[in-house]
Amino acid sequence: MSAPAIGDPIPNVKLLDADGAAIDLVAMKGAPLVVYFYPKADTPGCTTEAQDFTRLAPEFAHLDAQVLAVSRDAPAKLCKFRDKYGLTVRLASDEEGAVCEAFGTWVEKQNYGRTYMGIERSTFLFGRDGKLAKEWRKVRVKGHADAVLEAAKAL
């Protein structure tokens, strides 16, 4: 399965949120949807990104936009992460990696000469029609949530 391209529909995938509730991405069609992928809960960059999206949550809500943060962490770890930092962004678990595969975010990475597989920090913005409107790859955290909000306002 290849990553969605601009104009493609939301991939037909399902995952669990931090509380173990099922999430069907296709069923979220009808409102703007932000799906962002981050490597690991409770690490510095991922914490900052989640805090930034939480800070902007009222503005996303004003646009009727839903924000979903996806990692391969187990729901129990996501609960601890959410509660530790008071996050309001909805955290989702993709333990099996099917959603990362569907979005093309499970990639080969390198760090200090070591090659391994991991999540590429990426964000996807879908319009009310359920089609991909904008994507960001290899995201730098600083200012990113604000840029996504501006793109959502432009939908």
Query: Can you read off the two tokens belonging to residue 144?
Result: 């990113």
Q: Which of the following is catalytic: 18, 23, 46, 79? A: 46
Q: Is 19 exposed, middle or buried (0-12, 13-18, 19+ CB in 10 A)?
A: exposed
Annotated active-site residue 46? The verdict is: yes
Q: Is residue 37 within 8 Å of 105, Cβ to Cβ?
A: yes
**How many angstroms separate the CA atoms of 100 and 80, rounded?**
22
Query: What are the residue numbers of the active site?
Result: 46
